[in-house]
Amino acid sequence: MTHLYDRQYIAGAWCATQGKEFVEVFDPNTGALAARVGVGHEDDARRAAQAARAAFAGWSTAPLAERVRVVQQWAQALAARKDALVRAIAAEVGTPLKISQIVQVESPLRNIGNFVDVVQSLAWETTVGNSRIVREPFGVVACITPWNFPLHQIVLKLAPALLTGNTVVLKPSELTPQTTQLICEALHEAGFPDGVVNVVNGTGPTVGAPLAASEAVDMVSFTGSTQAGKAVAALAAQTVKKVATELGGKSPSVVLPGADLARAVKATVGACMLNNGQTCSALTRLLVPADLAQQACALAAQEIAKLTVGSSLSEGSRIGPLISQRQQASVQALLQQGERQGARPVAEASAVPEQGFFVAPQAYAVDEDNALARQEIFGPVLSILTYSDVDDAVRLANATAYGLAAAVWGEEQQAMAVARRIQAGQVDINGARFNALAPFGGYKQSGVGREGGLFGVEEFLQVKSIQINLPNGN
């Protein structure tokens, strides 16, 4: 059955899109047509921005307790749709059900609570000498989010933006319309005042670009590819608005001499393959001492052989399909390029369904100039590289245009020393668990700005300095 999604959510109401075109969305498990999505028009983006502008005065001056109350009601409305969200994301993105539940849905629901805690303890005003430092919302924020973690990325933007008093125009991915529909229903049910949060479906050129360039928008928060992020930043520069970006990655996992190699390889394979490799922070480069290369390749092959590939809606699947035929073709083209450049396959899962957009999880031994070692693949592919000494390991870890995440394995003090030298926004040591309250974001071409916790809240606040006369005349 093909579903039709042809409405926008603007000023608290569902309305017909002004666009005349449609995007076709296909079931990644079968390749069958699953949905047609009405492509938003520049007029939809303009009306949404105007609605957000009209709502800003009331929302920004509402008591914090009121903003918290409505955001918590949004969280409750999302929680009531938890099962539907899990299945929608599994069906649209290709995330296997168990991972969809834990990572795609439960994690962002907890994050809303984290943001509520942060804003309730935030020092909204402080004093420095004879100055009162005041934190204020930017105004209208355009939030442009990707398809790979549709709920998670929306929560990381909407929750802090709305709690801090901004109003929002959200442009979600056109490839996850069912997930977007459920999120919109929850937003409407939460009871936000009309215009505080608006959702416009569409593509980057039809909706994202007009929002980035709009004089009615005061800030853009964008997550997506580095190429698209550069385009958004260039458009936003025309009106000198703030742009926060979380972009691509080619994250290294550095195994130091003396580390537990088996543990490091197992964890790296798991992190690389999460969400079928469709994760910006995936550990896609395994760096090992040259004398351990053969053993590391054997261990990687052993771990990959354990991965069950199948429908994302099957309870037994560990690896599902990629989101689209386009993504599948992109990954396959990169693999062919890498092999032409000398990449040596060392592991590949055996059984891959014939229908759907599947790519077998695999690992390659490569040199540092190979395309598989340099380009973001966004599929279930691990590159294994060797180094001569620790300085060479650090050089290789940093030999990329990206700097989003990394991992280091080894004796703790040595691992910490190496972590400090890696140019990445977040580094895990010896498999330390992810901390949602810590800042997440990139160095270099992985983006500008941070998400999560206090740092993610502060991205949506401007700082004003008000000078006052002190009683002693200073």
Query: Any idea which residues carry the catalytic annotation?
Result: 246, 280
- Nearest 10 degrees: Cα torsion 320, 324, 325, 329: -80
Would you tell me the crossing angle of helices 412-421 and 390-398 to the nearest 10 degrees?
A: 40
Would you tell me the crossing angle of helices 64-79 and 177-190 to the nearest 10 degrees?
A: 130
